[in-house]
Amino acid sequence: MEVNLNRNVDRIFTADKEILLVGTAHVSKESAALVREVIEAEQPDTVCVELCASRYQAIRNQDQWREMDIVKVIREKKAFLLLSNLMLAAFQKRIAQKLDVTPGQEMLTAMETADAIGAKTHLADRDIRVTLSRTWRIMGFRDKVKVLFHLILSMGDLGEISEADVERMKDQDILESLLAEVGKSLPVLKTILIDERDLYLAQKIRTAPGTKIVAVVGAGHVPGIRANWEKEIDIADLEKIPPKGRFSGVLKWLLPLAIAAIFAFGFYYGGAEAGTHMALSWVVAHGIFAGGGALIALGHPATIASAVLASPLTSLNPMVAAGWVSGLVEALMKKPKVMDFEDLSKDILSVRGFWRNKVTRVLLVVVFTNLGSSIGTFVAIPLMVKVLG
């Protein structure tokens, strides 16, 4: 049996547990106060929070950015994931700044109040890196570009936003709110960002230790948690990073082979002149777009040069990306200092800050160089074929 306490609190009884779902806005003073009130009044054994281990550490350890190894991030191919995470964090922080609250204040309040009454804190959300990796894996090139530019546009002026507006945001997850427009044309985003996490949260909450549990989650997740409450849920399946599709794996090698075949065909049937024109088209297209991407990211001149030189070659090698080369050069030429890591939480609050901070500039170099290199491939192929005509 369920009894609603108020609009934002639901009580659920199971055979051996009593669970209170507290729906919150992630940047709301009212939500933080509600969380404290419920936990103090109910005295639960366990407090579940909508956090994963990495986000928990981000809240508990504000200086964790100082420990980041930017070169390792590039080598592990996580530049876009980290950049996306920072942009999402910036979106939430800027709303919180306008309302003079701490981002995730209700989660901090939940953990602090749990400590005060001697309750356990239980992390209930899926790792943000898994969520973003699953999202990235199912998107095509065009969708990735749309998401990237939507994230960048979100860094613009938020305009006037009131606490009433934030209370209305309780009906929508912060990820869903930011990517709402993209989600209209890409429904699978909602499946991964929202629906899968509803399942994950439901399973983690109902299996949390203790007989009385308070679960603090974004209010947008509450209907999904309740709808999935009785379902069999495989947590391990939700934590898997889907393997790349067989077609994409084949295409990764097929495209360079096809381009090499076009070159060979051009030299054989068109002669040295045609082959030279094709090679020039390939080099120039990649140089312009990859170098342009590094330039847009305000990379060092050596970084831009590395993008121009690397792109025509790395585009033929599926194991290496031009952005990884230019990103490593940028990290060496303008090595991030302790000050850059210390200023990261402040700099990500503005577009200018993203480009000014040496840490985020390296990430931008990687992303924009890779984007430019991909565009260069699509531009170069028709130019090469045209030479044969």
Instruction: Give the model confidence (pLDDT) of 273-307 as tens digits.
Output: 888 888 899 999 999 999 999 999 999 999 999 99
Query: Is the full-model pTM beyond 0.85?
Result: no
Distance CA 106, CA 28 (A): 7
Identify the band that residue 4 occupies on the pLDDT scale cut at 50, 70 and 90. Answer: very low
Identify the band that residue 213 occupies on the pLDDT scale cut at 50, 70 and 90. Answer: very high
Instruction: Give the model confidence (pLDDT) of 156-166 as tens digits.
Output: 555 555 555 55
The sheet that has 120-123: what strands, in order across it?
2-6, 9-13, 18-24, 212-218, 46-49, 120-123
Higher pLDDT, 245 or 376: 376
Averaged confidence pLDDT in the chain: 80
Residue 219 — φ and ψ, nearest 5°? -60, -25
Higher pLDDT, 111 or 359: 111
Among 3-12, 282-291, 356-365, the range of highest mean pLDDT: 282-291
Are the C-beta atoms of residues 291 and 372 closer than 8 Å to each other?
Answer: yes
Res 228: pLDDT: 93
Average pLDDT, integer, range 55-76? 70
Q: List the beta bridge partners of residue 213.
A: 19, 46
Instruction: Give the model confidence (pLDDT) of 231-272 as tens digits.
Output: 999 999 999 887 765 555 566 677 778 888 887 887 777 788
Domain ranges of the chain: 2-238, 246-388
Average pLDDT, integer, range 191-210? 92
pLDDT over threshold 70, residue 131: yes
Query: Which conformational region is residue 271 in: left (phi greater than 0), alpha (psi within -120 to 50 degrees), or beta?
Result: left
> Strand 9-13 vs strand 46-49: parallel, antiparallel, or unpaired?
unpaired
Are the C-beta atoms of residues 323 and 144 closer than 8 Å to each other?
Answer: no
Instruction: Give the model confidence (pLDDT) of 304-338 as tens digits.
Output: 999 999 999 998 887 788 999 999 999 999 888 76
Res 24: pLDDT: 85
pLDDT over threshold 80, residue 58: no
Q: Where are the alpha helices (DSSP H) in 43-187?
A: 53-60, 70-75, 79-98, 105-117, 128-138, 141-153, 163-168, 174-178, 180-185
Token couple for 384 = 């090469």
Residues in the chain, how many? 389
* Kind and range of the H or E run holding 212: strand 212-218
Identify the band that residue 204 occupies on the pLDDT scale cut at 50, 70 and 90. Answer: very high
Distance CA 216, CA 82 (A): 26
pLDDT over threshold 50, residue 1: no
Average pLDDT, integer, range 140-150? 69
